Structures are given as C-alpha cells and as structure tokens.
Amino acid sequence: NGLGHIIALREKIGIRTIFNLLDPLINPAGAKIQVLGVYEPSLTETMAMVLKNLEIKKGLGVHGEDTLDEISITGETKVTEFKDGGIKTYFIKPEDFGLQRGKLIEIEGGTKKENAEIILEILKGARGAKRDITVLNAAAVFMIAGRAKDFGEGIELANQSIDSGEAFNKLERLIEFTNAERRYLRNG
C-alpha cells in the first residue's frame, strides 16, 4: 500500500521530516484514544489538536527530555493532554512517581531481535531503567483510557500486570493469534 512506501522512505531519509509526524497519525484500527510521542517539544500542542481534529476522543502528545518521542525517565517530559473538549499542558518527571531518574544509555534499544528480547525480559519481571520507562509509558495509556485516575495509579496497574504475568500472557496470545492468522496479513 502507499503508506508502506511512506514509512520505508522515512527510514531511508534518516533525518526528521514531516513523515515522522504523519506515520503515528495513521490510524487503521480507528482508535479513539491515543498517546502520541513527538520529537520536538513545541509540537505537543499542535499534534494534540491534530489528533482532536481527527476525531480522537482523548489523547496525549508527549515529548521527553533527550529528544525522546515518548515519556522519559532521563528528565522532564512535556505532556499535552486533551479530553472532554479541553487541552492542558504540564510537565512530569520520574521522581514525581517514585521512579529513579535514568541515563539515556540505560534505556537504549538495539536491533529488532534485541528489542524483542528486552520486551520479554521486562514482561518476565526484570527490574531497572528499561522496565521503569515501559511502566511509565503504559501508565499514560491506562490514564488516558480511563483505567487509572492519574499516572501514579497507572504505574500501579502496569506493575501489577507485569508482576502477575498478565502482560506476558497477553503477548503470548497475540503471537499465537498473529501466527494463526498470518495468511491474512500482507507483507509490505
């Protein structure tokens, strides 16, 4: 499809362009709630408005310190939240939630295979900076989806999901489903 070509082009260019903003806005599942990471802090409000105009009901535009297009544990994260017709911007930091501030090197990923191994380690209960950033970003989803009243409660839910094995079990079921339905999936 045409979108696959845009994503491939974006990866080949290797620098941030408008395509880095368009890719996360593509919403084939018709989701009504979204957390959108943006690479430039001045764009969180703009992207929140774009999501709102795309009929997303509730969402967050986030930019983490160290140019992370996600919620960061290395410093402050700018969050622009929209729901119930209103938009507000605020800043959070890991210490606000009892999390230790990490270093960028502690949360770096790697190849697709290495990243998959990191995810499995986290979902099997590994502790440390990679789990903390995962839990904090999951907390944002729980919060904006209405499953948690705030980030703190979202962190509790994320930790419970990991520690109970529920998150790992859901991943295993998703893998089984994807493998069983592979014949219906397009390659590129």
Averages of pLDDT over runs of 10 residues in the chain (188 residues) are 53 54 54 86 89 85 88 96 90 96 92 92 94 95 94 96 94 85 59
- Residue 130: its pLDDT value, please? 95
Cα separation, 164 vs 130, whole angstroms: 18
CB 53 within 8 A of CB 29: no
- Residue 160: its pLDDT value, please? 97
- Residue 54: its pLDDT value, please? 79
**DSSP tag of 95:** G
- Residue 153: its pLDDT value, please? 97
Cα separation, 115 vs 169, whole angstroms: 18
- Residue 187: its pLDDT value, please? 56
Strand order across the 77-83 sheet: 33-37, 58-64, 77-83, 86-92
In angstroms, how far is the first alpha carbon of the chain from the final one?
Answer: 7
- Residue 114: its pLDDT value, please? 93
CB 158 within 8 A of CB 135: yes
